[in-house]
Amino acid sequence: MNKDKRNIMLTLVALVVLFGVACFAQTEIDSYVRRIINLCLIYAIIGLSMNITNGFAGQFSLGQAGFMAIGAYMVGIFTVPVNLRADVFYATPMHPWLVNIYIPLWLALILGGVLAAVVAGLIGTPVLRLRGDYLAIATLGFSEIIRIVITNATSITNGALGIKNIPPLNDVRYIFLVTAISYIIITLLLNSSYGRAFKAIREDEIAAEAMGIGLFYHKNLAFMVSAFFAGIGGGLYGALLGTVDPKNFLFTITYNFLLIIVLGGMGSITGSMFGAIIVTAGLEYLRLFDEPLEIMGVAIPLFRPGLRMVVFSILLMICVLFWRHGIMGTNELTWEKILNFVKHPLAGFRKKGVQGK
């Protein structure tokens, strides 16, 4: 019990310290770097949400892009200032029922998450009876259907033109708070009996069912929670960009989150955090590959737009082929490990058998 209390205190202290860092970043750091930090945080939420289904419940779902789109459009439709809406919906006027409804961002985020979860519940009923590859392709299909519906519902979503003029949110504190709350809720969920049920289903569905775990209920729950947080992450993403467009939510964006959870470790919460930071910052700093490079006056012809994504996909392949468990595997970075490391920094390098002598 004492240890649990200590861990909770340490976590709270760490969160407060990180919030302080976020406040510092908000005032002191230029907006480009702030944007990257925000993107890391948002990708961490969505990566975590994807890890719930793919890593913990073992249901390989590729629908994250669609749920993100729902959240992003909820923010896009309802947080654009009412007087600017005619500019945005210049081709087809906005539906008269919606045109005067304004919702503050925090409520739009939650509503977007809830709507994404409801859609996931509806989709999950037929889809979660499938396994493995079928589930992957069916969820991918649904995420495309969501995108197609959004593209075609012109009077609500402005169709292919997208929605501009969303009040831009490049506020590290706000996004950090949302990420921290999401992280805490997801951690609590995964450490509860639900989380253990998810893991049991991942390890062996038939055995889990024999132990009295309701397969359908738990799979659907995992899917809906995952969609909820993907919706929130998508809403933040839309608010950060200041514009939403159906093309932002092509299913290729799901591959980013796939890389995050593969790199961080499928089934590790802290792993997803590390994965999100490495992948997002890495993608951003790989941009140097897209720019022409000159070494001592000689232009290297290889460096031109597109190389960044090639390097990115090669990294994904290398990661899958040679480093399947990622950074954390299914382990977590706990306070015990950190404290042990602080006390005996070299313990990890010693041979296992020698320890304790």
Query: Can you give the binding site for other proteins, defined by CB under 8 A?
Result: 54, 58, 60, 126-127, 129-130, 132-134, 136-138, 140-142, 144-145, 148-149, 151-152, 206-207, 252, 255, 258, 262, 266, 304-307, 309-310, 312-314, 316-317, 320-321, 324
Q: Which is nearer to other proteins, 25 or 161 (CB)?
A: 161
Tell me how far, at minimum, the Cβ of 132 lies from other proteins, in Å: 6
Tell me how far, at minimum, the Cβ of 12 lies from other proteins, in Å: 35
> Whole-angstrom Cα distance, residue 325 to residue 263?
8
> Whole-angstrom Cα distance, residue 131 to residue 216?
12
Instruction: Give me the residues paired with residue 163 across strands.
Output: 244
Tell me how far, at minimum, the Cβ of 228 lies from other proteins, in Å: 22
Six token digits for residue 130: 């499938």
CA 327 to each of CA 103, 108, 273: distance values in angstroms, whole numbers, following the listed order = 40, 35, 11
Cβ count near 25 (within 10 Å): 16
> Whole-angstrom Cα distance, residue 343 to residue 279?
31
Helix (H) and strand (E) counts in the chain: 15, 2
Q: Which is nearer to other proteins, 103 or 316 (CB)?
A: 316
Q: What is the DSSP code string of 18-29?
A: HHHHHHHHHHHS
Q: Which is nearer to other proteins, 211 or 338 (CB)?
A: 211
User: Computed over its alpha carbons, how large is the radius of gyration of the chain?
Assistant: 22
Cβ count near 198 (within 10 Å): 28
Nearest to residue 50, comparing CAs of 34, 61, 37?
A: 61
Tell me how far, at minimum, the Cβ of 321 lies from other proteins, in Å: 5
Q: Which is nearer to other proteins, 129 or 344 (CB)?
A: 129
Tell me how far, at minimum, the Cβ of 251 lies from other proteins, in Å: 8
Nearest to residue 277, comparing CAs of 43, 65, 50?
A: 43
Tell me how far, at minimum, the Cβ of 137 lies from other proteins, in Å: 6
Q: Which is nearer to other proteins, 49 or 59 (CB)?
A: 59
Q: Scan for tokens 């504190």, then name that residue.
A: 173
Tell me how far, at minimum, the Cβ of 357 lies from other proteins, in Å: 37
Q: Which is nearer to other proteins, 108 or 266 (CB)?
A: 266
Q: Which is nearer to other proteins, 167 or 292 (CB)?
A: 292
Which DSSP helix (H) or strand (E) runs through 155?
helix 154-157
